[in-house]
Amino acid sequence: MKKQFLVLLVLVINYSYSQSVNDYKAVIVPLQFDFLKTENQYRLNTLTKFNLKKAGFEAFYSNEAIPNDYSDRCSLLYIDVLRENGFLSSKLFLTLKDCYGKIIYQSVVGKSKEKSYQVAYTEALNEAFQSLFALKYKYNGSTTTKVQSEIHTEVVKPMPAPITTSKNVVSEPVVVKTVVTDSYLLYAQPTASGFQLIDSTPKVVMKVFKTTNQSCYIAVKNGYQGVLLLKENQWYFEYYQNDNLMSEKVAVKF
């Protein structure tokens, strides 16, 4: 009875996941996974794309030029492969996230006891993909919630200065807050001094440089130098333009 219940539970979970992933057109594959030292090390990124296509998905590398049919970033999923600590075995599992970073699907943990990383990671990743294959993915044509790039500029003018006889009063500059709702993610590629943030074309959108604070980078974008700050789990590019403080919300995956 207990075994039958577990089988039923797995079927229900798989059905629930399939209803979610079927809403998305394609999957974006990064050039490098966080637990690896170089791009496509052990050819795991190539294997990931191959297995996604085998599972029925359209798949693109993050630096590929994506067809116009896939221009809506929130109609795509973003895959990541993660390593789980294991004493005598290599363990990998994969996640599929939406454009907001929410996990839509997480696979079973694939395991291998092979000593060679090349063999072990390949074996573990292939095993993790078995649960994704079981979903029998097929795009259902559903229009996922679209996020349009909208820039709302709010000018906050300072309060009128009180009348005073002092000659040293300096008026405050106008503070401009620019809130950007991004419809796509930027991907961070490591450099010698920090990262370069690229889009899917691929185009370098911003360069950031490390500081002693992991939540703050010196940043350069379109000729403007400022800082990239992490505030409430969201990154913001802040800089001065014509003596006005600008703040842009940036969706980035490190």
- DSSP 3-state of 126: helix
Q: Which portions of the chain are predicted below pLDDT 50?
A: 1-18, 143-167, 169-174, 176, 179-183
Q: What is the CA radius of gyration of the chain?
A: 23
b/e map 162-179, b = 16+ CB within 10 Å: eeeeeeeeeeeeeebbbe
Average pLDDT, the chain: 79
Q: What is the pLDDT of residue 19?
A: 52
Omega of the bond leading into 158 within 30 degrees of 0 (cis)? no
Q: What is the pLDDT of residue 95?
A: 95
Q: What is the pLDDT of residue 37?
A: 93
d(CA 5, CA 25): 33
Q: Which domains can be identified in the chain, with CATH numbers?
A: 2-133 (3.40.50), 150-253 (no CATH)
Q: Are 134 and 54 in contact (CB under 8 A)?
A: no
- For residue 234, CA distances in Å to 127, 206, 207, 243 come to 34, 16, 17, 25
Sequence-distant (6+) residues with CB within 8 A of 85 are 91
pLDDT, tens only, 140-178: 886 444 333 333 333 444 444 444 444 454 444 445 455
Q: What is the pLDDT of residue 178?
A: 52
